[in-house]
Amino acid sequence: MKPEQTFEKGVECREAGNEAFKKNNYQEALSQYYHALLHLRTVGGLHPENNLKERANEQLVKIYNNMAAVLAKQEKWSRVLDSATKAREIDDSNLKSKFRQGQAHGRLGNMEKAQELLTEILKKDPKDAAVKHELALIQQKDKKGQEQVKNAYWGMFDREKK
């Protein structure tokens, strides 16, 4: 298969994954995204033609972000973090992958890192409702965690008095 054909096959697989995602068929979506990755990672080689490597990298970022979205629907947060991180390794400025990283860190209990990433996005796009919502959830979770720690310690001191 010629590089351009490999590229086109990768794009086709990504689009098939998108269609499966729209139908809530997450396993099929992940399978198609995986096949797209296999095709697109090999595009370009040592002598890329017609900006093929650059175009392939753009597609790879989309695929990793799409995989992160599927995995978020399945609440597989460590895998969401992996996919979003791979997207940012290719394009560090991608806000979708930064959002998914922040979301995953929040669900995994890394509140400080989650807030840091989401706040960075909010500085660039202050009107992003999804980021605001996610920050509110994380702040709420963080408050509950602090209250639980406080209650645990208060309980310890109460027992010592008796």
CA atoms within 13 A on the CB side of 31: 6
Give me the pLDDT at residue 161, please: 52
* 88 class by beta-carbon count within 10 Å (0-12 exposed, 13-18 middle, 19+ buried): buried
**Own/partner long-range contacts of 40-43 (Cβ < 8 Å, ≥24 apart):** 40/6, 40/7, 40/10, 40/11, 42/6, 43/3, 43/6, 43/7, 43/10
The backbone region for 2, taken as left when phi is positive above 0, alpha when psi lies in -120 to 50, beta otherwise, is: beta
pLDDT tens digits for range 18-56? 999 999 999 999 999 999 999 998 875 555 566 888 899
For a pLDDT cut of 70, what percent of the chain falls above it? 83
Give me the pLDDT at residue 154, please: 72
Q: pTM of the full predicted structure?
A: 0.84
Query: Which parts of the chain have pLDDT scores under 50?
Result: none
